Amino acid sequence: MNNSVSQELLKFLQKSPTAFHAVQQMKSELLAVDFTELKENQRWNIECGKHYFVTRNDSSLIAFTIPENGIDKMHILTSHSDSPTFKIKENPEIEVEKHYVKLNVEKYGGMLCAPWFDRPLSVAGRVIIKDKTNGQFTSKLVNIDRDLVMIPNLAIHMNREINSGYNYNAQKDLLPLYGCGSPKGTFMEQIAEAAGVEKDEILGHDLFLYNRQEGSIWGASEEFISSGRLDDLQCAFASLQGFLSGEKKECMAVHCVLDNEEVGSGTKQGAASTFLFDTLIRVHEALGYD
């Protein structure tokens, strides 16, 4: 792989700790090259020769270009924005033996558990707040950009059979250690500070753990890449770059990134939803096609 492309991929991965951040990165790239953002709850005015994008749930994105002579055929690239991780539950702090605090999490997606141990982890995602000025509900991206938690391995003498295979219990073995002493009650305060809001303004959240270790390029000829979230952000990154650089004179080019593939795609923003269908139908209607 071209080293400059690899470096750009690693930068994209580093800035995308969650699906919400990945979509925000893609939005920024599209806006920088004169794409127009459409909203699902607004009327669409679409012209031939122009290019657009729309998001759903802030975690799925569809971008498309309209040829000068109208739509005769379509080329669609698809990928997904979510990655295997741990989702943080509501009221997540668990005090253990009055000495330390863990965070209550659940496994998200098809994951390898072992690589999550003994790594510097942090928390990112979004919070939902109610704007005090207009009463509307809005979301804010959150990233506690420092080493915050860890899932520590036990010493070998506490489980002599660990190297012979082990069936991890997510609610026992995989809860991240958050603090020692008296940190209980401070987690949501840190989230609020990162979001720039008051704690009592937060009405809900979609927060996830992510691996803080930066990706690397390695191998005898620098032919390998290691990083978290390669599944599936490497495909989202590659399809976006191909979409932006390819010729789009004779077909409607569509860059489609959908959320929740890791848990079955059955959400309103997943591949089994109507998001792509709705978008294509609205494009045709806006252009006056039957």
pLDDT of residue 1: 52
The CATH number given to whatever domain includes residue 172 is 2.30.250.10
pLDDT of residue 22: 98
Residue 49 shares a structural domain with residue 62 = yes
State the Cα angle at 33 between 289 and 137, rounded to 5°: 75
Enter the pTM of the model. Answer: 0.94
Residue 92 shares a structural domain with residue 192 = yes
Residue 113 shares a structural domain with residue 128 = yes
Question: How are beta strands 36-38 and 51-56 bridged, if at all?
Answer: parallel
Alpha carbon separation from 105 to 17, 88, 146, 259 (Å, rounded): 17, 4, 19, 20
Q: Which two tokens stand for residue 90?
A: 């509501």
pLDDT of residue 133: 80
Ranges of residues in the chain whose predicted pLDDT is under 70 = 1-2
Domain assignment of residue 63, yes or no: yes
> Across the chain, which distance is largest between two alpha carbons, in Å?
71
Domain assignment of residue 122, yes or no: yes
pLDDT of residue 136: 85
Residue 246 shares a structural domain with residue 207 = no
Residue 32 shares a structural domain with residue 134 = no
Other CB atoms within a 10 A radius of the CB of residue 130 amount to 13
Q: CA 199 to CA 189: how far, in whole Å?
A: 6
Tens digits of residue pLDDT in 148-166: 999 999 899 988 888 888 8
Other CB atoms within a 10 A radius of the CB of residue 144 amount to 20
Domain assignment of residue 246, yes or no: yes
Residue 144 shares a structural domain with residue 184 = yes
Tens digits of residue pLDDT in 104-114: 999 999 999 99
Total of domains in the chain: 2
Domain assignment of residue 222, yes or no: no
